[in-house]
Amino acid sequence: MQEFAVVVIGAGPSGGHCARLLAKLGHKVLLVEQHESFAINNFSSAASPLEILEKFDLPETVVASHWRKLEIVASNVYRQWQAPQNLGIVFDFMKLREFLAKDTQKHGGEVWLGHRYLKCRQEADQMIVELKPKHGEIVAVKTQLIVDATGYSRAVIYPHKKDRPSFYKATGIEYLIEVDPQAYQKYADSLIFFLGYKWSPKGYSWIFPMDNHQLKIGSAWINAPHKIIQESKPLRDYTEAIIKDYLQLNEYKLIEIHGSILEYSSGLQDVYYRDGVIAIGDAVSTVNFLGGEGIRHGMQGAEIASKYIDLFLKNSAKDSIQNNQNSFDNYQKEMQAYFANKWNLSEQIGKKVYLEYSDARIDQGVSYLKYFTIEDMIAILFYYDFSKTSRGIKRALLQKIDELISWISSLFRSSDRDQF
């Protein structure tokens, strides 16, 4: 039976990054992915702020396009911001995960595509992991630690569906289309978000640019009751409405339709470690509830986890199980210290915007964003810095006072004129 220090299940951004970091540290790593190719589950829209490349040492080859404009379209209001320089990227999600897997191999790790994790058991101080290749018999491998990086399915940490607690579930669907170069130019450097009942009830929709004159048009919503909306159309109808009514394209080529789901633990109540299994990425709700951005945060979580995994692998031979449990309790503490405040606030705001507000209130909110700069918008949308909103309120009040003063002085000027 083959033996590895650590087996990472799931080669998404979190699993791939974790495996590559551990391989770089010299550990014997196996990265396992159920799909035979990264083209199969190419589900993520994969937009991120620019910092992600340098922060996680990623090459430009995984980037499909850059963005420097933000647009928000609500049912009756439109706002736009732009910067002279690039502010972010849209990944080619397939190339990103391919790169992480190849980098793992480059540093001595193994990658087994087309292998599905089935189950594990503890034998003495080791774990036996059973994997089912797409074509062939079940294979078992030995390891000291398993990393659950299986995303929303949490396949390792929750082996039995009946034991899973309830999660907030969101569904996303996306159309990848190719348009003519002239139409593409209009959207080539923008992230466009759609809010409100007309375009995207219970969630938001988007248009993101890719390379080769391709655009990603998607919609996502939370599968939970809305305070006001009783009925809605199927999710894909909203995506198609954006193609038909917003883009008004006469001709386009549909490349593919893909989608996935996200499951988020309210208040970050996930299990981070249990009996030789540590969970990372979406398996511990690193995806942000408000923005649905999860790549950068999954990779950040993988960095935190890999520190504790490294310590565990270095100490496990001499440490008791209790010490290992304590070490992973610290992992949970560090993760919660990093994420909890902003994630809990994002969840509260997200629930209000997506599941409670009237369409008029969403219009009003978007309209009020005119007082925000592009820097404020980036801080709110990507760094969940809601203190910007109070600064925006102050700016709005000052602006209103200015408008009032100039209106009053214009009255005086006209009454002066009337006297002569």
Residues that bind ligand FAD (CB under 6 A): 9-15, 32-35, 41, 43-48, 116-117, 149-151, 153, 155, 172, 174, 218, 220, 259-260, 262, 281-282, 287, 292-296, 298
Nearer to ligand FAD, 151 or 276 (CB): 151
Nearest distance from C-beta of residue 219 to ligand FAD, angstroms:
9
Nearest distance from C-beta of residue 44 to ligand FAD, angstroms:
3
- The residue nearest ligand FAD at its CB is 294
Nearest alpha-carbon partner for 352 in 365, 370, 339, 337: 365
User: Residue 174: left (phi > 0), alpha (psi -120 to 50), or beta?
Assistant: beta
Which SS3 state, helix, strand or coil, does residue 76 take? coil
What CA–CA distance (Å, rounded) separates 173 from 152?
Answer: 16
140 bridge partner residues:
130
Nearest distance from C-beta of residue 230 to ligand FAD, angstroms:
25
Dihedral, 372, 47, 62, 282 alpha carbons, nearest 10:
130
In sequence order, which residues have a C-beta less than 8 Å from that of residue 103 and are 6 or more positions away? 16, 20, 23
208 bridge partner residues:
216
- Phi first, then psi, for residue 90 (nearest 5°) are -120, 120
Nearer to ligand FAD, 216 or 316 (CB): 216
Nearest distance from C-beta of residue 107 to ligand FAD, angstroms:
19
Nearer to ligand FAD, 132 or 370 (CB): 132
Nearer to ligand FAD, 254 or 404 (CB): 254
Nearer to ligand FAD, 189 or 359 (CB): 189
Nearest distance from C-beta of residue 383 to ligand FAD, angstroms:
13
Nearer to ligand FAD, 117 or 328 (CB): 117
Nearest distance from C-beta of residue 122 to ligand FAD, angstroms:
19
Looking up tokens 């996935």, which residue turns up?
A: 260
What CA–CA distance (Å, rounded) separates 234 from 237?
Answer: 6
What CA–CA distance (Å, rounded) separates 4 from 309?
Answer: 13
Nearer to ligand FAD, 89 or 313 (CB): 89
Cβ proximity of 8 and 97 under 8 Å:
no
Nearest distance from C-beta of residue 86 to ligand FAD, angstroms:
16
